[in-house]
């Protein structure tokens, strides 16, 4: 309490009552008593009256009775000395501020505490001290508070109001207003970090990245501005800071900054929540319901971006597991089948999604059905468009052709051929000015042996699009088929001029030139230098690391391959040049053999003096893949190649299998991939190679063997028990690889562990090509005793017999088997399906198992529903004819 000095009245008995009332803060009673005394002796007792009124005024302030207090103060002005009045005025302001603050905060203790802490920090800072984390947080609470600060004139309040005004202006993009507001802050202020933040935000909006970064980097790490700056930093690709921003709230901010309507924010937050839980169907629903006019859509904008995410191709980037994506497929399928789509647009996107999702398992009839519905639905949504319809049919042609070409589906039946023709013709006729679908139609006609229709199409294409690359290439391929080399080369030069970056054309040119050389050789005529020189600029230099050879066709276009070929053709020095270009002596030796088999030249002497390595094996696989892709080898040639492989393995064994282990894992991977992706017609060869390799690895995979060899054994299981044990074995191997910090191997092992885990959890086998069950000796499933009878004994027998035949006998014998099966009562269409199954089964069947199967069933031909395949003799060992005429093979490798 601010009161005048009353010590002079302590001994005055007349003043004792007044003093007692003042001590007890009974101000009105004291004032009335003092008035009485003043009437008697004003000069002496006036200080008592002043004290009573001063006390009363302060009491009234404390109770929030400002007006009453002001009246008392007015009276005091007539009797009190100026110094007392000044002191009372200061107290009045202080009290008013407190009252205002309580009013502003609603009296919440945490807000009052924040205010006091921040204000104290400001005082400390003014005195040259530093702020603390707590005071920074208190300041942040005041800036972001939903209540308005009291309108007093203290420096702290003025600064706070300035910062809040700047926040308001920054939010509205009023940069100049915000800048002027921030000018009110002194150089040293508890709000300094807010000045940096708001400046940074302004720089982000003005596209000034460096300036924004400088501002954001200056923020206290755990302050509100540091958190709030996080999405801005992400926008600018700046590294994140320790303070984490709330993700969901940041979506609303980003949506607003991207100019999206406020109505988008809530569905987006909801969708993101479901997405994180991997509930794609729920995420779809969260978006499609409230945003039905904008999602899904093809119109550019945020809706299209969301559409691209939700309906993303599975082959594209996706962090979600397959099962989560399957949930969305199932959900959409349910809506499709039950007619629950909200609009044709939604139906359109679902149809397009289904078509892409099923692309690897489409049959012609289903594809046509999808296509028709998609074209019609799209026409309803956006109006008819012939170009778009043509694009749809072209895409469907693209989906159907690879499946037919790589043998993953049986060859088309006559009824399917009709549909396929129709689809190709629709694609071509709807966009007659586009040569691409017409070229595809021509290719299709050729693939189904409709030679006359193909010729007519090719002639028509040549007239309409004489300079189109695809047409020229088609024409060149036709010339190549007819061995009309000069014409083919001329046409290819034209195609090359149209697109010099197309390596497929270059590859064809090289093929033609090489074929010309071989033709001259076969006639005993010399090869002109110009022919070789013509090849030179078309050649590629191969990397020495087989991992970098992603496209095996590059091998055929490499200097190494061509110089090897030239060396055979007697071109001086080219053999040595080829040997220098080869990644290793052993790979060169293998290349020599491949080229030799192609060209028929059988004279080479080369004795590598370096030990064989897994890197060499890896190259062997690459070379074999190239050879397989570009050359249709005879059964005998394939056997020779696998013979070389065996010899090579023996050499590595002799050297010690555990050498060069790092590349063993990569070589195993390459071998397995080659095996998986090989053409069914060649799978017998790869099965042989893999069988040899697998046997070698199993023999070596002892308890203490290096993990690389154990991995190789696990990847190529010898029997069904091995496969059943694959998961724990791979887990142990993975642990060893992890302990060895073998990064690349960990990646590969993890990949196969994933496959093994998914196999273990496969549903019961179903009789569909795309969901093939594991063969009985791999999975332990006994199809014959299946309670549901999904596969009867005769069918199982047929598949096993065919697999065994594929394993042991040449193609001609398979033809005989087919005839016998059909003669035994099997419908011809069923044979194709059995063949597909048998090819898969043969992949995991060893020759020993195949022999045992055939031997054990030799007497069952009359008891079963179908006859077994003919008991043809095993292929004879290689004749000595080639050995004699070809000292290079296998003697070349016998030196190992």
Partner 1 sequence: MNPWLILDIPAGSNDAAIRAAWQRAIQQHPPERDALRFQEVQEAYQAIKDARARAAWAVRPRPAPADSPADALLLYTRRRPTLTPPGAQIFRTWLQACTPPPDKI
Give the nearest distance from C-beta 310 to partner 1 in angstroms: 8
For partner 1, the closer CB: 391 or 755: 391
The kind and range of the H/E element at 405 are helix 386-405
In sequence order, what are the residues at sequence separation of 6 or more whose Cβ sits closer than 8 angstroms to the Cβ of residue 308? none
- State the Cα–Cα distance between residues 808 and 195, nearest whole angstrom: 82
Inter-residue contact 27 to 68 (CB < 8 Å): no
In sequence order, what are the residues at sequence separation of 6 or more whose Cβ sits closer than 8 angstroms to the Cβ of residue 205? 173, 175
Triad 450, 453, 454: Cα angle to 5°: 80
Give the nearest distance from C-beta 393 to partner 1 in angstroms: 10
Helix axes 793-808, 683-700, angle to 10 degrees: 90
Spell out a b/e string for 561-578, using b for 16 or more CB atoms within 10 Å of the CB, else e: bbbbbbbbbebeebbebb
Closest CA to 691 of 808, 564, 559: 808
For the chain, how far is it from start to end, CA to CA, in angstroms? 109
For partner 1, the closer CB: 190 or 842: 190
Give the nearest distance from C-beta 254 to partner 1 in angstroms: 5
- State the Cα–Cα distance between residues 791 and 787, nearest whole angstrom: 10
Give the nearest distance from C-beta 65 to partner 1 in angstroms: 33
Triad 721, 724, 728: Cα angle to 5°: 120
Give the nearest distance from C-beta 201 to partner 1 in angstroms: 8
Give the nearest distance from C-beta 183 to partner 1 in angstroms: 19
List C-alpha distances in Å: 870 to 127, 832, 846.
104, 18, 19
For partner 1, the closer CB: 310 or 723: 310
- State the Cα–Cα distance between residues 210 and 217, nearest whole angstrom: 10
Give the nearest distance from C-beta 862 to partner 1 in angstroms: 53
Question: Phi, psi (5° rounding) for residue 216?
Answer: -70, -35
Give the nearest distance from C-beta 173 to partner 1 in angstroms: 3
Give the nearest distance from C-beta 439 to partner 1 in angstroms: 14
What's the per-residue H, E or C state across 180-202? Answer: HHHCCCCCCCCCHHHHHHHHHHH
Q: Is 131 exposed, middle or buried (0-12, 13-18, 19+ CB in 10 A)?
A: buried
Beta bridge partners of 815: none
Give the nearest distance from C-beta 423 to partner 1 in angstroms: 14
Inter-residue contact 157 to 149 (CB < 8 Å): yes
Give the nearest distance from C-beta 270 to partner 1 in angstroms: 10
For partner 1, the closer CB: 71 or 258: 258
Give the nearest distance from C-beta 160 to partner 1 in angstroms: 14
3 state DSSP class of 540: strand
Give the nearest distance from C-beta 606 to partner 1 in angstroms: 45
Helix axes 42-62, 66-79, angle to 10 degrees: 160
How many residues does the structure list for the chain? 896
For partner 1, the closer CB: 25 or 467: 467
- State the Cα–Cα distance between residues 22 and 514, nearest whole angstrom: 122
- State the Cα–Cα distance between residues 304 and 765, nearest whole angstrom: 40
Give the nearest distance from C-beta 387 to partner 1 in angstroms: 4
Give the nearest distance from C-beta 202 to partner 1 in angstroms: 10
- State the Cα–Cα distance between residues 160 and 165, nearest whole angstrom: 9
Give the nearest distance from C-beta 846 to partner 1 in angstroms: 40
For partner 1, the closer CB: 318 or 758: 318
For partner 1, the closer CB: 198 or 737: 198
For partner 1, the closer CB: 250 or 484: 250
- State the Cα–Cα distance between residues 253 and 206, nearest whole angstrom: 17
- State the Cα–Cα distance between residues 530 and 537, nearest whole angstrom: 12
- State the Cα–Cα distance between residues 819 and 871, nearest whole angstrom: 14
Inter-residue contact 790 to 765 (CB < 8 Å): yes
Beta bridge partners of 540: 558
3 state DSSP class of 558: strand
Give the nearest distance from C-beta 333 to partner 1 in angstroms: 17
Residue position matching structure tokens 């724990």: 728
Give the nearest distance from C-beta 317 to partner 1 in angstroms: 5
3 state DSSP class of 809: coil
Torsion 799-805-806-812 (CA) sign: negative
The kind and range of the H/E element at 522 are helix 503-522
Inter-residue contact 796 to 850 (CB < 8 Å): no
In sequence order, what are the residues at sequence separation of 6 or more whose Cβ sits closer than 8 angstroms to the Cβ of residue 89? 73
Closest CA to 414 of 861, 829, 718, 818: 829
């Amino acid at each position: 309490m601010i009161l005048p000095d009353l010590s002079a009245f302590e001994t005055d008995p007349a003043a004792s009552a007044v003093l007692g009332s003042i001590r007890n803060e009974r101000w009105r009673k004291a004032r009335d008593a003092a008035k009485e005394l003043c009437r008697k002796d004003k000069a002496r007792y006036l200080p008592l009256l002043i004290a009573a009124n001063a006390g009363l005024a302060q009491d009234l302030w404390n109770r929030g009775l400002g007006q009453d207090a002001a009246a008392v103060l007015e009276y005091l002005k007539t009797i009190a000395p100026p110094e007392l009045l000044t002191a009372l005025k200061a107290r009045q302001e202080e009290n008013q501020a407190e009252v205002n603050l309580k009013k502003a905060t609603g009296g919440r203790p945490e807000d009052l505490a924040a205010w006091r802490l921040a204000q104290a920090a400001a005082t400390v800072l003014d005195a040259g001290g530093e702020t603390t984390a707590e005071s920074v947080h208190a300041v942040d609470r005041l800036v972001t508070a939903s209540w308005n600060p009291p309108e007093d004139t203290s420096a702290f309040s003025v600064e706070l109001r300035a910062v809040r005004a700047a926040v308001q202006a920054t939010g509205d993009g009023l940069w100049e207003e915000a800048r002027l507001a921030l000018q009110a802050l002194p150089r040293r202020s508890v709000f300094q970090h807010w000045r940096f933040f708001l400046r940074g935000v302004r720089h982000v909006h003005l596209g000034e990245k460096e300036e924004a970064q400088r501002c954001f980097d200056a923020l206290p790490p755990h302050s509100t501005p540091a958190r709030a700056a996080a999405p801005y930093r992400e926008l600018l690709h700046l590294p994140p800071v320790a303070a984490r921003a709330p993700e969901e709230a940041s979506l609303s901010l980003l949506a607003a900054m991207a100019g999206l309507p406020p109505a988008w924010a809530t569905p987006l937050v909801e969708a993101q929540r479901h997405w994180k839980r991997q509930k794609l169907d729920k995420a779809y629903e969260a978006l499609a319901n409230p945003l039905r006019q904008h999602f899904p859509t093809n119109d550019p904008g945020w809706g299209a971006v969301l559409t691209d995410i939700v309906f993303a191709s599975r082959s594209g980037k996706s962090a979600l597991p397959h099962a989560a994506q399957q949930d969305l497929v199932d959900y959409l399928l349910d809506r499709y089948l039950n007619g629950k789509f909200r609009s044709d647009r939604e139906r359109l996107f679902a149809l397009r999604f289904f078509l892409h999702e099923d692309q690897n398992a489409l049959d012609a009839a289903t594809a046509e059905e999808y296509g028709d519905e998609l074209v019609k639905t799209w026409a309803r949504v956006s109006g008819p468009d012939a170009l778009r319809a043509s694009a749809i049919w072209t895409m469907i042609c693209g989906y159907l052709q690879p499946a037919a070409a790589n043998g993953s589906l049986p060859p088309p039946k006559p009824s399917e051929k009709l549909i396929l023709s129709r689809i190709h013709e629709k694609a071509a006729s709807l966009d007659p000015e586009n040569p691409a679908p017409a070229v595809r139609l021509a290719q299709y006609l050729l693939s189904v042996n409709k030679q006359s229709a193909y010729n007519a199409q090719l002639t028509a294409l040549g007239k309409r699009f004489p300079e189109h690359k695809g047409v020229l290439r088609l024409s060149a391929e036709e010339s190549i088929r007819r061995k009309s080399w000069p014409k083919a080369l001329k046409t290819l030069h034209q195609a090359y001029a149209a697109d010099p970056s197309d390596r497929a054309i270059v590859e064809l040119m090289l093929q033609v030139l090489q074929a010309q050389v071989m033709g001259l050789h076969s006639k005993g005529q010399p090869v002109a230098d110009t022919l070789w020189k013509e090849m030179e600029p078309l050649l590629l230099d191969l990397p020495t690391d087989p991992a970098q050879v992603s496209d095996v066709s590059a091998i055929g276009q490499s200097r190494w391959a061509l110089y090897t070929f030239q060396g055979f053709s007697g071109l001086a020095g080219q053999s040595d040049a080829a040997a220098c270009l080869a990644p290793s002596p052993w790979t060169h030796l293998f290349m020599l053999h491949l080229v030799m088999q192609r060209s028929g030249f059988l004279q080479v002497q080369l004795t590598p003096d370096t030990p064989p390595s897994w890197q060499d094996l890896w190259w062997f696989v690459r070379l074999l893949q190239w050879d397989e892709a570009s050359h249709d080898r005879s059964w005998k040639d394939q056997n020779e190649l696998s013979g070389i492989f065996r010899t090579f393995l023996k050499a590595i064994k002799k050297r010690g299998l555990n050498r060069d282990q790092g590349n063993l894992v990569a070589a195993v991977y390459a071998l397995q991939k080659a095996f998986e992706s090989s053409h069914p017609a060649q799978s017998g060869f790869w099965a042989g190679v893999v069988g040899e390799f697998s046997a070698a690895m199993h023999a070596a995979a002892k308890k203490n063997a290096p993990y690389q060899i154990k991995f190789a054994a696990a990847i190529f299981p010898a029997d069904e028990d091995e496969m059943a044990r694959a998961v724990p074995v791979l887990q142990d191997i993975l642990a060893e690889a992890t302990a060895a910090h073998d990064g690349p191997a960990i990646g590969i092992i993890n990949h196969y562990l994933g496959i093994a885990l998914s196999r273990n959890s496969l549903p019961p086998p179903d009789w569909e090509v795309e969901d093939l069950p594991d063969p009985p000796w791999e999975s332990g499933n006994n199809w014959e005793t299946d309670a549901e009878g999904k596969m009867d004994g005769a069918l199982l027998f047929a598949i096993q017999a065919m697999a065994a035949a594929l394993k042991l006998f040449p193609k001609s014998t398979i033809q005989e088997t087919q005839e016998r099966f059909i003669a035994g009562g099997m419908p011809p269409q069923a044979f194709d399906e059995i063949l597909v199954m048998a090819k898969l089964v043969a992949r995991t069947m060893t020759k020993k198992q195949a022999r045992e199967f055939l031997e054990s069933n030799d007497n069952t031909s009359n008891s079963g529903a179908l006859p077994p395949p003919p008991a043809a003799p095993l292929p004879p060992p290689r004749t000595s004819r080639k050995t004699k005429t070809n000292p290079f093979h296998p003697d070349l490798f016998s030196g190992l």
